[in-house]
Amino acid sequence: MKPLISPTACPCGSGRLLAQCCGRHHVGEPAPTPEALMRSRYSAFALGLTDYLLATWHPSTRPAQLPADDATEWKRLEVLDSGEEGDRGRVHFRATFREGGRWALLEEHSRFVHEDGQWWYLDGDSAVHRLKPGRNAPCPCGSGRKFKACCGPV
């Protein structure tokens, strides 16, 4: 089943509407670059589109299934570096998320391969760092507001 494309902002943080950004890849248009694929995969995590995540994972490294993860709220994506050489690609990114009341940052150096006319996620080296934002610190979601006035506890 193909997901509906929403008229909302794309979760990847591009500033474009979902339909003009990652949503078009979610419904079948191949991502033109490793970065575009990584952004669409981040958006798929944020939207709970596990079928898309599995479909864009290279068969040689793809898990048999991905459990649904309703507890994780993906809040912000930062692409730090990306590139491609021939049929190989790479993306270095940071993704901020919240699980319950706990904040964390996933940082990954992802690897991609271009085969059969499309980019595939191959694997990545990742680390998760816990965040403890203070009330007056900038909000980890990237809004530019103080934590207490944005995503902080009520």
Find the mean pLDDT for residues 31-57: 97
In a domain, 101, yes or no: yes
Strand-pair category, 88-99 with 102-115: antiparallel
In a domain, 154, yes or no: no
Distances in whole angstroms, Cα of residue 53 to Cα of each of 20, 25, 92, 128, 138: 19, 11, 18, 20, 31
What's the pLDDT score for residue 154? 58
pTM of the model: 0.91
CATH of the domain at 50: 3.10.450.50
In a domain, 127, yes or no: yes
Write out the two tokens for 54: 């599995």
Q: Which residues pair with 85 in a beta bridge?
A: 88
Give the single-character DSSP code of 6: P
Q: What is the pLDDT of residues 51-97, one digit of tens each?
A: 999 999 999 999 999 888 888 999 999 999 999 999 999 999 999 99
What's the pLDDT score for residue 3? 46
- Domain, as residue range, for 140: 18-149
pLDDT grade, residue 32 (50/70/90)?
very high
In a domain, 7, yes or no: no
Element holding 75 (H helix, E strand)? strand 72-85
Overall number of domains in the chain: 1
